[in-house]
Structure 1
Amino acid sequence: MNRLRRARLQGVSDSISELIETLRDIRDNEENYKENMPENLYGSERYEKAEEAVEQIEEAIELLESATESIEEAMS
């Protein structure tokens, strides 16, 4: 792989890393929101939606981390 394509891939990898950090921040905020709900809302639809959002964001993070690993392997 030549330098230009390697540099472009590095740029993509860097962008994905920024997205991962943003998603982690959003996930942490949603987790904090969920954990600070009053006890009477545990198990409610609102609580379940927050829990599902956290799970989906975590899955997105894992997929993006996998993409970053694949890009790094392609550059080596």
Structure 2
Amino acid sequence: MNKLRRKNIQEVIDKLTSLQNDLESLESDVESIQDEEIEYRDNMPENLQGSERYEQADNACDSLETARDGLSDLKDSIDEIISSLEDAAQ
């Protein structure tokens, strides 16, 4: 591989690394929101547990967990892509 292609690969790696940092920040944001929603749900009075309001909060917690897991999976995929690009640049 020539120097120009290696340079181009490095530019792609740098962009992916930046994207990965953004994803980490987003994952942290989603986790904070999820923690707040869990606390809200768990602190509902007993008479509201099992209510529609409780179910909505519970569903929101599940959806936020799915979103957080998706962001984590995306970061893992980017790791694999970066690794493949580094192998290609050798």
Calculate the TM-score normalised by the size of structure 2. 0.82
Query: In structure 1, how many angstroms separate the alpha carbons of the residues matched to 2:71 and 2:27?
Result: 7
Match for 1:29: what amino acid?
E
After TM superposition, give the deviation of residue 35 of structure 1 in Å: 0.5
Q: Which residue of 2 aligns with 1:50?
A: 57
Q: 2:18 maps to what in 1? A: 11
Corresponding residue pairs, total:
76
Greater than 4 Å deviation, 4+ residue runs: none
Deviation for aligned residue 1:3: 1.2
TM-align CA RMSD: 0.9
Q: 1:36 aligns with which of 22, 25, 43?
A: 43
2:27 to 7, 20, 23: 20
Tell me the percent identity: 36
Q: Which runs of 5+ in 1 are unaligned?
A: none
Structure number with greater Rg is 2
Q: Deviations over 1:8-41 (max 9, x none)?
A: 0001101011000000000000000000000000
